[in-house]
Amino acid sequence: MKEWYRFPALVMVLVLSCPLACSDDTRYDQAICVLIDVSGTYADQREEVVRILKREVLPGMEPGDTLLVIRIDGESYERDNLEALLTLDARPSHANAQKLALARQLDSLAEREMATPHTDIPGAMMLGGEYLRELASGSRVMLVFSDMEEDLAPGTRRGLREDEFDEVSVVAINVKRLRGDNSDPEVFRTRLADWERRVLASGGRDWRTIMDPTRLAAYLGEMRSG
């Protein structure tokens, strides 16, 4: 065996590089919170939402990543609204099996009969934010699949705290346009701008609207690395 002292240059490189390598405690795991609107105006989009998740989100998830799915209905700030919560196993083969099981669970969600006359978007966002804070992953993203038209039931109150979405990037995706949006696009734009203001005022790291679902995978990759 060759003694280490015969290679002083190599030893010096290892000594100098160790502090850099050992001090890098950056986390690259990602937590993705998916909010799916099941109210009457968005009910016809559930199958499309599941297709997007299976095509653009699940394939890019890595061991250690977490996915949670929350239902937006008339009273969304309920633990029962949590449809799925899964952290992928560190072993790739087990993680792939978990993805397949989750895909089947999403298919079941798309097929289930659900309808609600009211739409409690902030309640679902508050619930999702609580889970994301608890996970404390390297990057935290909230994907909101909805028409973004808030319609709280009488007596329901929702107030977003200043740190509600601290370090969370919020994305409105597959936003369905309502009848009034087509007759006056400014109604649609104003609705999204109002949500952007609310999210950023509540500590959100970022707000984005993605119209083309095929851009979602690249966006999640950017959030993971940056």
DSSP 5-41: GG-HHHHHHHHHHHHHHHH------EEEEEEEE-STT
Provide the pLDDT for residue 23.
Answer: 47
User: Within a domain: residue 50?
Assistant: yes
Provide the pLDDT for residue 55.
Answer: 97
User: Would you say residue 169 has pLDDT above 90?
Assistant: yes
Select the more confidently predicted residue: 103 or 20: 103
Provide the pLDDT for residue 29.
Answer: 95
Q: DSSP string spanning 54-97?
A: IIIIGGG--TT-EEEEEEESSS--SGGGEEEEEE--SSHHHHHH
8 A C-beta contact, residue 148 and residue 195: yes
Provide the pLDDT for residue 81.
Answer: 96
User: Within a domain: residue 25?
Assistant: no
Provide the pLDDT for residue 28.
Answer: 85
Taken as a whole, the chain contains a residue count of: 226
Question: How confident is residue 222, by pLDDT bands cut at 50, 70 and 90?
Answer: very high
DSSP annotation of 3: -
User: Within a domain: residue 176?
Assistant: yes
Question: How confident is residue 27, by pLDDT bands cut at 50, 70 and 90?
Answer: confident
User: Within a domain: residue 187?
Assistant: yes
User: Would you say residue 24 has pLDDT above 60?
Assistant: no
What percentage of the chain has pLDDT greater than the value 70? 89
Provide the pLDDT for residue 17.
Answer: 47
User: Within a domain: residue 17?
Assistant: no
How much is the mean pLDDT over the chain? 90
| pLDDT per residue as tens digits for the range 92-139 | 999 999 999 999 999 999 999 887 899 999 999 999 999 999 998 999
| pLDDT per residue as tens digits for the range 196-217 | 999 999 999 999 999 999 999 9
User: Within a domain: residue 155?
Assistant: yes
User: Within a domain: residue 5?
Assistant: no
- 46: enclosing H helix or E strand: helix 46-52
Q: What is the CATH number of the domain that holds 69?
A: 3.40.50.410
User: Would you say residue 145 has pLDDT above 70?
Assistant: yes
Provide the pLDDT for residue 176.
Answer: 95
Tell me how many domains the chain contains.
1
User: Would you say residue 173 has pLDDT above 90?
Assistant: yes
User: What range does the domain containing 54 cover?
Assistant: 30-225
Select the more confidently predicted residue: 27 or 93: 93
